[in-house]
Amino acid sequence: MGVSIAVNTDGAKPLSRRDEAYNFIRAYITRTGQSPSINNIMAALGVSKTRAKALVHQLAVAKMIERVPGAQRGISIPGLFRELVLEELRREGYVVDKDIMAGVPCPQGHLPLIAILEHIPALEAGDLHATPSDRRAANGGG
């Protein structure tokens, strides 16, 4: 049950073991819907069980993952579900979240500005939204 691990091929600095462990955990949770066991991490990274536990501990200390004490498969990634949903929405063409502030153009283009009203006309007696006191005021009654 192998899961591919992202390999850095652009000539940049190679990923650390901690980053490889994180990428594996993220991919595993995304693919299966559950967290990997220490044995899964050990096999995927080709490290000892002790090293796999140490990597998981490092990720927890760095707050990149959360662990449920005593659970065999108690690893979760904070915000992963939200991140995956946002990625899917973006793939579908939606502009979400901070995209607007980041300068991602809206698919519908620029919307017209709302006109600023300098004067609000008097309420007509037939205005369906006017209250009885509004109608009296509009008709000159007090």
Residues 3-44: tens digit of each pLDDT: 545 555 556 778 899 999 999 999 999 999 899 999 999 999
Q: What predicted TM-score, i.e. pTM, was given to this entire model?
A: 0.58
| 124 and 85 both lie in a single domain | no
Half-sphere exposure of 74 (CA within 13 A, CB side): 10
**Same domain (yes/no): 69, 48:** yes
Residue 1 pLDDT class (50, 70, 90 cuts): very low
- 55-65 pLDDT, tens digit each: 999 999 999 99
Closest CA to 39 of 90, 82, 1, 11: 1
Residue 135 has a pLDDT of: 59
CA-nearest of 50, 54, 56 to 24 is: 56
Mean of pLDDT over the chain: 77
Strand 66-67 and strand 75-76: the pairing is antiparallel
Q: Give domain status of residue 7, yes or no.
A: no
Return d(Cα 71, Cα 30) in angstroms, integer.
Answer: 19
Residue 98 lies in a domain: yes
Domain that holds residue 120: 113-142
- Read off the pLDDT band of 66 (50, 70, 90): very high
| Residue 118, in any domain of the structure | yes
